Amino acid sequence: MIKKCAQQMSFEDFKDAISPEMLNELTKMNISYNRAYSLFQNILKETQIDENDDIGTMESIVRNIILDYNDDVLAN
């Protein structure tokens, strides 16, 4: 996924892009769609690559969301 396209994703687009397998992983971690979308937006802000560069697949993005969520939980 290109960073610029990811930045333009609405919440509904984000929800629709998550496969049942990825949703299952988020559910195991008790991560809601809203929280996942918020973490997704944070990842996009923190990523220091050009807006025309590839940020990975939705699957890899969900893995990063889970990692960020775990970091947040451990920090609190």
Please name which of 37, 31, 34 lies closest in space to residue 7, comparing C-alpha atoms: 37
Please name which of 18, 14, 3 lies closest in space to residue 52, comparing C-alpha atoms: 3
What pLDDT digit, counting tens, does each position of 33-75 carry? 999 999 999 999 998 999 999 999 999 999 999 999 998 888 8
What pLDDT digit, counting tens, does each position of 3-37 carry? 999 999 999 999 999 999 999 999 999 999 999 99
Q: What is the pLDDT of residue 37?
A: 97
The CA–CA distances, whole Å, from 49 to 21, 42, 44, 72 equal 28, 14, 9, 23
